[in-house]
Amino acid sequence: MATKQQVIKALDKLGALLTQDPGKYDFEEIEILAPQGKFWESNLCGVLCYEFDRHSMTKAELWDEVMNDIEDGLVDDCES
């Protein structure tokens, strides 16, 4: 199981950023932003978005999902 600290460490190595909006009630929104000139391999976009609902998943499951997408890697933006 991945942790938030592991995710942040992996993002730091790639020059990517994590943003987290605590939202309201039981939800949180999390985004990981690829460095300029790169896209995430998993969706070919510069941002990956996640919504955490504590009633449907654990934090460990969330960070595992995020880590899986990070491990897919980055690709170059062909327009850069």
pLDDT at 47: 96
pLDDT confidence band for 80 (50 / 70 / 90) = low
Specify the pLDDT at position 34.
Answer: 97
47 touches 29 (CB < 8 A): no
Domain boundaries, the chain: 4-76
Q: pLDDT band for 30, please (50, 70, 90 cuts).
A: very high
Contact 45, 39 (CB under 8 A): yes
